[in-house]
Amino acid sequence: MSDWMTRLKTWWSRAISISKGDAFLCDSCKWNYGSICTRPERPNAKKCPDYTGKG
């Protein structure tokens, strides 16, 4: 499968998750890069006291 197709599928499944309200918080969290966040919930947190939107 070509690379753009993989990206499209990833984007699409994420869009579906967001629209259903079951997306993982980490996907849109400011701390979800490098080793900034060391929580065990990462990268699949559904609830997190440290969650900070990227906004």
Residues that bind ligand SF4 (CB under 6 A): 25-26, 29, 31-32, 37, 39, 41-42, 45, 48, 50-51
DSSP letter at 50 equals T
Closer by beta carbon to ligand SF4, 7 or else 46: 46
Distances (CA, A) of 52 to 13, 21, 25, 33, 44: 22, 17, 9, 13, 15
Closer by beta carbon to ligand SF4, 7 or else 50: 50
Least distance to ligand SF4, CB of residue 22, Å: 14
